[in-house]
Amino acid sequence: MGSCIICGSSTDGRICDLHEEDVVFEFRGNRPDQLTVDRFYRGTVDGYAEFGVFVDIGDSVTGLLHRSELDQRLESLDWDAGDTVFVQVTNVRDNGNVDLTWSIRQSEREFRGTLVDDPDQGPPFVKGEDEDAEDEEDAEPAESTGGGSDTGADDTEDPRGAPETAGESSDSSGDSTADSSVDGATADDVTTDATATADAETSASASADTSTNASASAGTGTGASADAARGGESGAVAATAGGGVEVEELAQVSVDSLPDRVGETVRIEGVVESARQTSGPTVFEIRDETGAVECAAFEEAGVRAYPEIGVDDVVRLDGEIRERRGEIQVETEALVVLEDEERDAVRDRLAEALREQADPGSVDPLVDDPAVEALTDELREVATAVRRAVLEDRPVVVRHTATADGYVAGVALERATLPLVRDHHEQHDAVYHYFDRRPLEEGVYDMDDATRDVTNMLDARERHGEKLPLFVFVAVGATRDSLDGFELLDLYGAERVVVDDVAPDPEMDDAVDGLVAPDADHAADTTATTLAANVAAHVDDGVRDDLRHLPAVSFWEGASEAYVEAAAEAGYDEDATREVREAVALEAFYQSYEDKRELVTDLLFGDGDGPGGLAGHVSEQFREKLAAEVETAEVNLDYQTIDDVTVAVLDAEAFTHRYEFPPTHLLVEELHRGHRDEVEAVVVVSDDELYVRTDAPLDVRDVADRAREWVPNAGITAASARDGKLEYVVGERAAVLDAVVDVVADEVA
């Protein structure tokens, strides 16, 4: 039995079943049947065919990556023969053909380790282990000089092993379960350096013994130096001529000053961002308020140094500053976890520095808008939260309603956040790992949605070491209908901010970490997109011009002249904004759970492409489908007048095409806009749900409470206050409809 290189659990070989897909394998076999299905392998491009790409796996086996398995057109690939690619084996056929699929991870550092798959050597092993064993057998002890050894200025590395460069680091996010992972991308370098120091380490052993192993203890992080650090004493241990030790006071410095201190031994304090095990040293990435640096700690080749220290620990590290391959690194001499006041002081210092870095500064709205100007502090707070999440390597998850306003608002934040993610992360696919936009089918974030999100985030943390995300709720979340979902996220410590266009319920201030929502006086004059676009402009000021037309797109009616003019200046006249709005509304309906990132981007940022463009084409379909449904609905409206109040009632089960476009909420809005001059309210009823629309102030929770008194056994609940939606049991539908119409007529009278 062995230990998994990622989680440390007992397993046959070096990787457990749970984490096998988190590492990449280097194949050294010579037959297809020696490959293992579902493993990821490093390969090289052999050549192209009409139907795909041939990829060499190792020296003797070639597989086919069919064009259907690619995430882009075959013709658009920029691979050349000999290029390194990463693929997954999906099938090995009886005739020896190997089927491959695309790996979204296309660099070695995006995997959590590298193992060698050599069928002649047995189970997979860490690259370098076989070479280490052979070197140890062949090595001969160096001759002792009695007083130490002269190994040359630069020819022999310190016995701590060779630290890796920052450019070779893996994903900096992770939790303590990732501490044992192997960085295959640099295993050769680290192993070579560590092996190269073997002779120096041996030749120095005699003098190290006579000086109480002081030098060796500094290199390995054990002995007197480590003991002094763990005891909280200030200073570093150095060998003296007489074999004793003396304490040298170390200067505590910031990470950004390290390039000017190469060769010095210093002290830094910060938080452990990641900890990974290579075949040589353990590499800790430590961040303070000025930056991050990689620190190599060597116990022995492939052995975890400081196993008690994990991700998110606040630490103090003493070490020598070195420059390798143009990158600054620290060779660790002592490392200790800080506790209590010392820990809190470091965390406070980092938090304050991060907040200052993330803060966009003063707020400059897109146009003069009283609704936005009343929320400048809240807007700045949410923009800071999004920027801080990116800087902290936390994913940003935007949850928005599957409506035109919800989509446009969500895309505004997407437009602003993606450039920050690209700038902050080197991975080509970081925009898919660190930003996600997920539509909601309803205007409520309920337990079903929250359970799905919690499951996804916990799986990402367990499998890939991701930090918990920032959830940004757009066009949803200001009402207490979403409390249950928010409370589940809160139990796991997931941060939540809301951008919504309805007046918030009082209890929502305590349910979320940031809230941008208008008061009752301004709610009718704004949209979620208007608020979200202003937030987005302060997440990244560089996309401000891209956002100017979005508020006008989000208004079905009543857009302010300022936003109409801003859209016109951006190239979108009233017809263009209408077409974009209608096109987004149509596409939002289809596969409402999908973000449709590229399609919606084309619709919203097509430079007002006109009637012949994409938005014009899709909006034409929108109008045809909506007009057909409205025509059928209008001839079947039931007008009920109670105390001089007329309510138009539509039986959706009988007179609409259920589950086809348009969705019920959009049909209700269209009927209300078209008949507001002749009726005071519109009610659309189906078997177990009912929608109410009116221009009069109306709280559907009050409607539900009053109707429940008349029909106590109907299970009437206000499912969504922002959408005017009630739910009830099917058997009481007729009684519920009568009660609701009476209550609505009384409320709006």
Task: Tell which wins on pLDDT, 145 or 36.
Answer: 36
Residues facing 276 on adjacent strands: 283
| Dist CA 226 CA 230 (whole Å) | 6
Position 150 in a domain: no
pLDDT computed for residue 47 by the predictor: 85
What is the phi-psi region of residue 8: left when phi exceeds 0, alpha when psi lies from -120 to 50, beta otherwise? left
State whether 537 and 499 are in the same domain. Answer: yes
Please tell me the predicted confidence (pLDDT) of residue 506: 94
pLDDT value, residue 652: 95
Of 292, 311, 343, the one marking the end of a domain is 343
Residue percentage of the chain with pLDDT more than 90: 60
Mean pLDDT across the stretch 40-65?
88
Say how many domains are in the chain: 4
Q: Is 291 left (phi over 0), alpha (psi -120 to 50) or beta?
A: left
- 98 within a domain of the structure (yes/no): yes
Range with top average pLDDT, 1-15, 168-182, 564-578, 609-623: 564-578
* Complete DSSP assignment for 158-227: -TT-PPPPGGG---S---GGGTT---GGGHHHHHHHHHHTHHHHHHTHHHHHHTTTHHHHHHHT-SHHHH
Cα–Cα distance for residue pair 698/217, rounded to 1 Å: 74
> Is the CB of residue 691 less than 8 Å from the CB of residue 728?
no
Tokens of 490: 């809160």
Q: What is the pLDDT of residues 523-540, one digit of tens each?
A: 889 999 999 999 999 999
Looking at the fold, whether 339 and 370 belong to one and the same domain comes out as no
Residues 55 and 114 in one domain: yes
The whole-number pLDDT of residue 42 equals: 92
**The predicted structure's pLDDT at residue 14:** 80
Q: What percent of the chain has pLDDT over 70?
A: 83
> Do residues 551 and 420 share a domain?
yes
State which of 108, 126, 144 marks the end of a domain.
Answer: 126
Taking 3-state DSSP, the helix, strand and coil percentages for the chain, each rounded to the nearest 5, stand at: 40, 20, 35
For residue 322, is it within any domain? yes
Look at 630 and 18; give whichever has higher pLDDT.
Answer: 630
634-657 residue pLDDT tens = 999 999 999 899 999 999 999 999
DSSP summary character for residue 145: -
Distance CA 150, CA 204 (A): 9
What pLDDT does residue 256 have? 92
Q: What is the mean pLDDT of residues 509-536?
A: 95
Do both 389 and 533 map to the same domain? yes
Q: Are residues 21 and 121 in the same domain?
A: yes
Q: With bands split at pLDDT 50, 70 and 90, how would you rate the model's confidence at 248?
A: low
Query: What's the pLDDT at 749?
Result: 83
Instruction: Give 350's strand partners.
Output: none
**353 within a domain of the structure (yes/no):** no
> In this structure, what CATH number is given to the domain that contains residue 693?
3.10.310.20
pLDDT tier for residue 612 given thresholds of 50, 70 and 90: low
List CB contacts of 542: < 8 A, sequence separation 6 or more: 419
Q: Does 394 map to a domain? A: yes
Q: Does residue 397 sit within a domain?
A: yes
Burial class (CB in 10 A: 0-12, 13-18, 19+), 305: buried
Q: Is residue 614 part of a domain?
A: no
One domain, residues 484 and 590: yes
Give 108-164 pLDDT, tens digit per residue.
888 888 888 888 888 888 876 554 444 444 444 433 333 333 333 343 334 333 334
Residue 666 to residue 537: CA distance in whole angstroms: 29
| Residue 283, strand partner residues | 276, 296
Ramachandran region of residue 747, left (φ > 0), alpha (ψ -120 to 50) or beta?
Answer: alpha
Most confident listed range (143-147, 215-219, 347-351, 620-624):
620-624
Residues of the domain holding 505? 359-602
Mean pLDDT value across the chain = 83
Q: Are residues 534 and 403 in the same domain?
A: yes
Q: Residue 121 has what pLDDT?
A: 81
Nearest CA-CA partner of 201 in 239, 161, 241: 161
Report the pLDDT averaged over residues 68-95: 85
Helix (H/G/I), strand (E/B), else coil: 740: helix
Structure tokens that stand for 462 in this block: 């367990």
At 552-599, the pLDDT tens digits run: 999 999 999 999 999 999 999 999 999 999 999 999 999 888 899 999
Q: Tell the burial category of 599 from Cβ atoms under 10 Å away from its Cβ (0-12, 13-18, 19+).
A: middle
> Is 331 found in the same domain as 256?
yes
Closest to 521 (Cα-Cα) out of 363, 374, 669, 725 = 374
Q: What is the pLDDT of residues 382-400, one digit of tens each?
A: 999 999 999 988 999 999 9
Position 156 scores a pLDDT of 35
Q: What is the pLDDT of residue 284?
A: 92
Give the confidence band of 11 by pLDDT, cuts at 50, 70, 90. Answer: confident
Mean of pLDDT values over 267-290: 88
Minimum mean pLDDT range among 6-15, 197-206, 235-244, 282-291: 197-206
* Domain of residue 52, CATH code: 2.40.50.140
| Rg of the chain over all Cα atoms, to the nearest angstrom | 32
CATH number at residue 407: 3.90.1640
**Quick check: 74 pLDDT over 70?**
yes
- How high is the pLDDT of residue 611? 52
Whole-Å CA distances, 201 to 131, 148, 154, 161, 194: 18, 10, 15, 11, 10
170 confidence band (pLDDT: 50, 70, 90): very low
Exposed, middle or buried, 510 (CB in 10 Å: 0-12/13-18/19+)? Answer: exposed
pLDDT tens, residue by residue, 329-365: 999 999 999 999 999 999 999 989 989 999 999 999 9
pLDDT at 217 (0 to 100): 35
Do 519 and 394 sit in the same domain of this protein?
yes
For residue 204, pLDDT beyond 80: no
Give the residue-averaged pLDDT of 689-711: 95
| Chain centroid to CA 480 | 26
| Same domain membership, residue 377 and residue 244 | no
612 domain residue, yes or no = no
Residues 110 and 162 in one domain: no
| Residue that wins the pLDDT comparison between 192 and 571 | 571
Beta strands in 652-716 (DSSP E): 681-685, 689-694
Q: So what's the pLDDT on residue 207?
A: 33
- Does 167 have pLDDT greater than 90? no
This model's pTM is above 0.85? no
62/32 Cα distance (integer angstroms): 8
Task: Give pLDDT, residue 709.
Answer: 95
As given in the structure block, the two tokens for residue 493 are 């410590």
**Residue 189: its pLDDT value, please?**
41
Tell me the CB-side half-sphere exposure of residue 458, using CA atoms within 13 A: 11
